[in-house]
Amino acid sequence: MWYTEKQTADLGFSCRVKEMLLRVKSDFQEIAVMDTYQFGRMLVLDGMVQTTDADEYIYHEMITHVPMRTHPHPENVLVIGGGDGGAVREVAKYPQVRNITLVEIDAQVIDVCRRFFPQISAALTDSRVDVRIADGVEFVKGASNSYDLVIVDSTEPVGPAVELFGATFYSNIYKALKEDGILVAQTESPFFNVGLIQSVSRHIKRIFPLFHLYLAPVPTYPGGLWSFTIGSKKYSPLEPQGSYLPDEARYYTPLLHRSCFTLPRFVQELLTG
Ligand code: SAM
């Protein structure tokens, strides 16, 4: 049995499947979990791969350790989306963190990940973690001067995630951050989502004093090369100030932190285009 994600109208990504473990419809999306030969268990929402046992560490380490080590003392962290718990797991490795708020719109994603991805979702039971089932767009409207770091670990810009890539949402995050706070967002593929990266970069450059884009390879995502966007009020991610380094990281290293901001020319050009 093979599973194929239609990544674009003209491109499919296929995996041989050992077993389909779950296929349900929540109030927000279709949730599927399958056991694949190549990547182990795979979480698929509305036909799009979100995370797999084999490559999840790259995405989750890069969306967290880069901003966490940019900030000298991150204590309050907000994760929007991220119901699999992978970003929370990485943030929870930092002993100085006091509170991690996870705002996920779909309670069923959390339940499914607790059941099928225990190694990704394990930190959701950490006493510092507060799980809220809510729309991240609405949640940030009510917050001000509260967080050191906001991580937007969203699905692709479809359905309830569309507004998670919009200017109003980023302005509300700016308000929700403390005066030296940092925003990081997953911003899709530089091959297939040029327009999206350009619009996000325009918004972030207008709202935040510092804008940076960085890259990491994620084998199961369209094109295999993924982008993350940082908006920072004070600290430059090019000069990381954090002293603590989780020793369990498998992808992230301090040297890689510096090199991931070195962009290929086609990405530099799309940012100035
Ligand atoms: N790492 C993944 C990727 O890039 O494909 C994203 C993982 S995580 C599973 C994304 C989560 O965002 C989903 O569980 C989805 O339910 C949630 N989500 C989508 N829109 C949301 C919103 N407006 N507020 C909060 N969570 C949202």
pLDDT tens digit at each of 273 positions of the chain:
999 999 999 999 999 999 999 999 999 999 999 999 999 999 999 999 999 999 999 999 999 999 999 999 999 999 999 999 999 999 999 999 999 999 999 999 999 999 999 999 999 999 999 999 999 999 999 899 999 999 999 999 999 999 999 999 999 999 999 999 999 999 999 999 999 999 999 999 999 999 999 999 999 999 999 999 999 999 999 999 988 888 889 999 999 999 999 999 999 999 997
pTM recorded for the entire structure: 0.98
Please count the CA atoms within 13 angstroms of the CA of 271 that sit on its side-chain side. Answer: 20
Nearest of 46, 68, 71, 50 to residue 59 by alpha carbon? 50
CA 52 – CA 73 distance, rounded (Å) = 31
Which domains does the chain show, CATH number per domain?
2-52 (2.30.140.10), 56-272 (3.40.50.150)
Q: Does ligand 1 lie within 6 Å of residue 164's CB atom?
A: yes
**Dist. CA 53 → ligand 1 center (Å):** 17
Q: Which atom of ligand 1 has the smallest separation from the CA of 113? A: 9
Q: Does ligand 1 lie within 6 Å of residue 215's CB atom?
A: no
CA 171 – CA 254 distance, rounded (Å) = 30
CA 102 – CA 115 distance, rounded (Å) = 18
3-state secondary structure of 210: strand
For the annotated catalytic residues, the residue numbers are 153
